[in-house]
Amino acid sequence: MKLGAIGFFVENLDLMVKFYRDVMNMKQNIDIDGFAGFITEDGFFFNLCTRGERENLSSIPISYPKGLNGTMELSFGVPKYEDVDMEYERLIKAGAKPVSKPVTKPYGLREAYVADPEGNLIEIVSSNE
């Protein structure tokens, strides 16, 4: 098997589409009622679906995290350490929620965290000084 996509089940599809399309600069390739799809430069798919649509597919009750979702993250790599700082500032100015400021870790990565409008974690990371 090969992982080909990841999806979020969201409360406000319009808000989340705007964030990932306009702020995260992801290319939207699908726009249908209750669903939006994006594709990355290297062919990975990222999907957003309204929570009501997902609940219609399940016979088991579904629960969703409140506030900051610490159960997973999206990780976006940037070329250099300085790009981590620039992207962190850009994303905050564009409406992302600050989670942790850029820091260089002992294992050589520079990373920072923000959250999207519904509290999903986004890592900005580089391994190149």
pLDDT-derived band of residue 2, with 50, 70 and 90 as boundaries? Answer: confident
Q: Are residues 41 and 87 in the same domain?
A: no
**What is the pTM (predicted TM-score) of this model?**
0.89
Lowest mean pLDDT among 46-50, 53-57, 60-64: 53-57
If DSSP codes are grouped into helix, strand and coil, which group holds residue 14?
helix
If DSSP codes are grouped into helix, strand and coil, which group holds residue 15?
helix
Q: Which domain holds residue 92?
A: 69-126
pLDDT digit string (tens) for 5-43? 999 999 999 999 999 999 999 999 999 989 999 998 888
Looking up residue 105, the CATH number of its domain turns out to be: 3.10.180.10
Phi first, then psi, for residue 128 (nearest 5°) are -115, 120
Q: For residue 31, is it within any domain? A: yes
- pLDDT greater than 80 at residue 81: yes
Total of domains in the chain = 2
Looking up residue 49, the CATH number of its domain turns out to be: 3.30.720.120
CA-only gyration radius of the chain, Å = 15
Query: To which H or E segment does residue 88 belong?
Result: helix 81-93
pLDDT-derived band of residue 59, with 50, 70 and 90 as boundaries? Answer: confident
Q: For residue 61, is it within any domain? A: no
**Distance, C-alpha 78 to centroid of its chain:** 15
Reference 68, options 9, 117, 14; nearest CA is 117
